[in-house]
A and B are shown apart, each in its own frame.
Chain A
Amino acid sequence: MDWYPLYNSLRIAAIACVAVFFTGIFAAYYVAKLPRLVKGLLDVVLTLPMVLPPTVVGYFLLLLFGVKRPFGIFLARFGIKVPMTWWSAVFAAAVVSFPLMYRTARGAFEAFDEDLADAGRTLGLSNIYIFWRVRMPVCRQGILAGTVLTFARALGEYGATSMIAGYTPGRTATISTTVYQLWRTDNEALACRWVLVNLAISAVVLLVVNMLEQKQKGKTR
């Protein structure tokens, strides 16, 4: 059995997860401070990838990075071609999983007692210190749960990935695209093995999320 799809899926999910961790948290932090109207609009835009079919996300990504599109042509000048590379799948996974991080972080920040931040400011603590040493630790469980969910969603990404990265064994193949490809070519036994691998990873992820949520409940009681 060739383990490349597992390795590829893990690295795509890991990179996407790190990128989404920071962008999702900062989006959540700054969107929460905006005036209500702008907040509502931005919230819709930032959450859309979660409810859109992934193929629609893939369509937009191809509009942006396609080799015949303006931005794609611009990138080609520097010798950069995005579609059909393993790392193009990072974009697909990141965009699709971004709303999960954004929304869980926002939920955690909304439950945060702003008096704590205000108290820190009157004590002369810098805003950066307050963010990393008070806000983030207090919201720790919610943010961890969001990160795990993001990783899981990135790992399972299929639709947008298959559109922008395609399926090339040993290059762009991920677990999900491999399962489809194996099924399509009547290799049911191998497809089943990958399904089991995927099930195992997802079950572990959900266990972790549940544990974190239990801990959060225990703390607020």
Chain B
Amino acid sequence: MSLLVDIEKDYGGFHLRSRFETHGGITGLLGASGCGKSQTLRCIAGVQTPDKGRIVLDGVTLYDSEQHINLTPQQRGVGYLFQSYALFPNMTVRANILTGLRREKDAAKKQAAFAHAIHLLKLEGLEDRRPAQLSGGQAQRVALARMLVSRPKALLLDEPFSAIDSHLRDQLQVDLLALLADFPGDMVIVTHSRDEAYHMCGQIAVMDAGRVLAHGPTKQVFADPRTVQGGRLTGCKNIFPARKVDDHTIFVPDWGVDLHPARTVEDGLVAMGVRAHYFRPEEARNPLAVHCVGKMEEPFEWIIRMRAEGQTAESPDIWWRVSKEIVPEIMPTRLGVAPEQVLLFYE
């Protein structure tokens, strides 16, 4: 099981240059809206044609500009779950699912596959409804059923939870993971949510402005996003310019302090980052003298805005997230960061 994507496409003012490789399992394409992640998915499915490059699925070339290969979406057999689910509004749930079985000529097998899909996706009793009469979660299950019965070789899911109420998302993520656990082929999920990517994807590719910035196992990419955009997309709140001093020391001009990260500092350092959860008042290493400038209450956490002593006026606040149980009545005047929590960002 493998999927290789190496494509370029010019959209006039926006240049997509998408490159990643997967070997089974779920891959997340993480990026802000308009970064080219959905376009990448469309190119893989074949509903859009790149300008040049190559797409190879399980050893079969789907697209190769040099060899002039460009299979139609019908020939590719790649399942695509659209953000809006794209159920045919003129058809019932039953007819929608049966369109995925049109190539199955054996009536008994067709019926069995249909019944299995209805059971698997808990759609009993909804067979004669129209898409307009379904909730978001139901529509998603119908679209999944329709896609899965067509026996695709790979699955592409475009923002599968964007049309779902937020309080239902967690459960649907669990359900979807359980459903996809048995799927043998490669799966690509497009998302702008770092939580979704972290929950669901064994590996991720972080995209920004049409490019893949970082690509690898999810935990590794989150631990070391390498670029400022990668840091932001993986949810790093505190990003400040930084310079290399030596292999184990960086200087942060906004704070006027030296920090000592655990990773060896390479040339080309432009910034550093600390995730809002990773400041610790009791941490003695990498100390920073601070004062509190504001508090924001969340259901289970405090978001505390701090400024370093002597921090320049135009420099943004430092964000510190801390569990409510341990918020001290008196704000600490010193925060520390463990060396392994100092992220280093390069050009």
Contacts and interface: CB of A to CB of B under 8 A. Distances in A.
Given A134-B90, A138-B89, A121 B82 contact: no
B43 to A, nearest CB: 12
Interface string A5-48: 00000000000000000000000000000000000000000000
B99 A122 contact: no
A176 B306 CA distance: 84
Interface string A112-127: 0101101111111110
Given A134-B88, A137-B90, A138-B90, A124 B74 contact: yes
Given A116-B88, A118-B45, A134-B88, A124 B103 contact: yes
Interface string A123-152: 111100100001001101000000000000
Contact of B74 (A116, A121, A140): A121
B47 to A, nearest CB: 4
A144 to B, nearest CB: 14
Which of A115, A126, A138 counts the most chain B CB atoms within 10 A?
A115
The secondary-structure label for the interface of chain A is helix
Contacts of A137: 90
A122 B90 contact: no
Given A124-B102, A125-B99, A125-B102, A118 B73 contact: yes
Nearest to B73: A121
Given A113-B84, A115-B82, A115-B84, A121 B89 contact: no
Interface in A141-195: none
Contact of B86 (A118, A125, A140): A118
B86 to A, nearest CB: 4
Nearest to B90: A137
A115 B74 contact: no
**Which interface class (under 10, 10 to 19, 20 to 34, 35 or more) fits A?**
10 to 19
A125 B86 CA distance: 14
Which of A115, A121, A122, A137 counts the most chain B CB atoms within 10 A?
A122
B162 to A, nearest CB: 13
B100 A121 contact: no
A175 to B, nearest CB: 37
B73 A122 contact: yes
Contacts of B99: 120, 123, 125
B185 interface: no
A79 to B, nearest CB: 47
Interface in B76-121: 76-80, 82, 84, 86, 88-90, 99-100, 102-103
Contacts of B74: 121, 124-126
B90 A119 contact: no
Contacts of B201: none
Contacts of A126: 74
B55 interface: no
A116 B102 contact: no
Contact of A119 (B76, B80, B152): B80
Contact of A118 (B80, B147, B150): B80
A126 B45 CA distance: 15
A56 B96 CA distance: 49
Nearest to A118: B47
B146 interface: yes
B103 to A, nearest CB: 6
A121 B76 CA distance: 10
Contacts of B150: 123-124
Given A113-B84, A115-B82, A125-B99, 17 more contacts: A118-B73, A118-B82, A120-B99, A121-B72, A121-B74, A122-B152, A123-B99, A123-B146, A123-B147, A124-B77, A124-B102, A125-B74, A125-B102, A129-B102, A134-B90, A138-B88, A138-B90
Nearest 7 interchain pairs by C-beta: A119-B86, A121-B73, A137-B90, A118-B47, A122-B80, A115-B86, A122-B73
